[in-house]
Amino acid sequence: MKSASQLFIDSFMENLIKKNPSEPEFHQAVREVLLSIYEYIEDNPHYIDSGILERLTEAERIIIFRVPWMNDLGKIVVNRGFRVEMNSAIGPYKGGLRFHPTVNLGILKFLAFEQVFKNSLTTLPLGGGKGGSDFDPKGKSDNEVMRFCQSFMTELYRHIGPNTDVPAGDIGVGGREIGYMFGQYKRIKNEFTGVLTGKGINWGGSVIRPEATGYGAVYFTEEMLNTRHESIKNKTVLISGSGNVAQYATQKVIQLGGKVLTLSDSNGYILDPDGIDTEKLNYVMNLKNQQRGRIKEYADTYGVQYFENKTPWQEKADIAIPCATQNEIDVNDAETLIKNGCICITEGANMPCTPEAINQFIENKILYGPGKAANAGGVAVSGLEMSQDSMRISWTREDVDKQLKSIMKEIHQTCLKYGTKVGGYINYMDGANIGGFVKVADTMIDQGAV
């Protein structure tokens, strides 16, 4: 027989799916949160009575718009632009923009939903949102990317603002794209404000913002390992992706004395048994950020193995840090990782593990750090960038790194507070979901029927 909690969750999900059809990633993200928080809200029924769950799962506002731009051949191409303004209870909407051909409303709703909890965990006054487009920056010239970004901002500008909604980067959106969008916003509004984060250092950006997600994920990994009197030093690490998050996670692992064996992109992964050192990482950064090449070229340059159309999870290592995309670790990968002795999985990406994979990690009492907690360093430093912009000051690398470290420690503490189970196992997923939920839910109750 089903328990009361299962019946409640099933019926809530049935309604949600009816209202939001064909959005499996959004359903997945909501179900995970419900499973984590149900017991807590059962003990605190005022959350149910005040409709908090219905409100949290309905975006405050969604904007969908046409993005026409001219390619280098003089042809007009049309993409679709989105901004999901999910929740502004504790601060302006905040979250990245993703440019990738797979972008659709359901993906952005899952990301915006998770962002609400993540931003709440950072301790900073940040609401949650996410946006982007099905535009594919791959293979486009700088001029094409610029024209696309200008067209995207020509509509988006009217919906955002430094006290309303502050976008940033995500997959396919880095310093170059933020620059083009910031330039266009400033031009249209005749206003120099911190309307985007991840800006260049010369024009209002914060030091350590490019590094923050990857560094933060590794700081969080170190915190988790410390609970078992372990550390990253001398550990082997599998990293997927080779973009912003993967690059700086690799850099921090190297700094802390660990050995990164793999990096990947959507075509395959490289395995470097000697470890990716600083020189090789610099090569990757140049390859990916300037040349915009493929990770396969690493294998050709350094004479290591390349596995086409495969992910790194079949390799043996102590730690895995997925830094590419959602659902990149399935239950088979999870079983292989565990069988190979992996003790810790840290989500640099958003929702990289399927629910079945997460169950495997938790059942086997592996250290499992969910993205909401583990990759919150990026948006946390975005929050610090907003503060610096509004004060018209800039902090040093040491200042920002110290604040990042202390925020990651606090997030870890919150996970311990809400996620420690009888017997001592720390369920970081429950910890992050409950910890993120309480602050937003209490605030929504304070603010009335909003």
Q: What is the DSSP letter of 134?
A: S
Q: Which residue is nearest to ligand NDP (CB)?
A: 243
Give whichever of 170 and 389 is closer to ligand NDP, judged by the CB atom: 170
Amino acid sitting at position 297: E
Q: How many residues bind ligand 2IT (CB under 6 A)?
A: 12
* DSSP states along 350-371: SS-B-HHHHHHHHHTT-EEE-H
Asked whether position 132 contacts ligand NDP by CB under 6 A, the answer is: no
Among 20, 213, 250, 427, binds ligand NDP (CB under 6 A): 213
From the list 94, 118, 130, 235, the catalytic residue is 130
Q: Which of 170-178, 221-229, 274-282, 336-344 is the region at the interface with ligand NDP (rule: CB under 6 A)?
A: 170-178
Q: Quickly tell me which residue has 């990770």 as its tokens.
A: 295
Q: Which of 81, 91, 92, 96 binds ligand 2IT (CB under 6 A)?
A: 96
Residue nearest ligand 2IT by beta-carbon distance: 96
Q: Which of the ranges 49-57, 89-97, 221-229, 319-327 carries the binding residues for ligand 2IT, by CB under 6 A?
A: 89-97
103, 149, 171, 232: residue in contact with ligand NDP (rule CB under 6 A): 171
**Residue 94 contact partner, candidates ligand NDP, ligand 2IT, none, CB within 5 to 8 A by sort of partner:** ligand 2IT
Interacting positions 349-378 with ligand 2IT (CB under 6 A): 350, 378
Task: Tokens 């870890």: give the residue.
Answer: 412
If phi > 0 it is left, if psi is from -120 to 50 it is alpha, else beta; for residue 183 that is alpha
Q: Which is nearer to ligand NDP, 206 or 375 (CB)?
A: 375
Neighbours of 402 (CB within 10 A): 13
Closest distance of CB 281 from ligand NDP, Å:
14
Torsion of CA 92, 31, 433, 174, to 10 degrees: -50
Q: Give the x-and-dash track for 244-273 against ligand NDP (CB under 6 A).
A: xxx------------------xxx------
Is 130 one of the catalytic residues?
yes
C-alpha–C-alpha distance, residues 196 and 192, integer Å: 11
Residue 197 near which of ligand NDP, ligand 2IT, none (CB within 5-8 Å, type-dependent): ligand 2IT
CB of 229 to ligand 2IT, least distance (A): 30
3-class DSSP state for residue 142? helix
CA atoms within 13 A on the CB side of 305: 10
User: Closest Cα partner for 115 from 346, 337, 405, 376?
Assistant: 376
Tokens of 427: 């369920």
**Closer residue to ligand 2IT, CB minimum distance, 30 or 379:** 379
Task: State in angstroms the smallest separation of the CB of 5 from ligand 2IT.
Answer: 29
Residue 129 near residue 60, CB atoms below 8 Å: no
CA nearest to 221, candidates 204, 233, 205, 203: 233
Q: Does 348 participate in binding ligand 2IT (rule CB under 6 A)?
A: no
Cβ atoms of residues 369 and 433 within 8 Å: no
Residues identified as active-site:
130
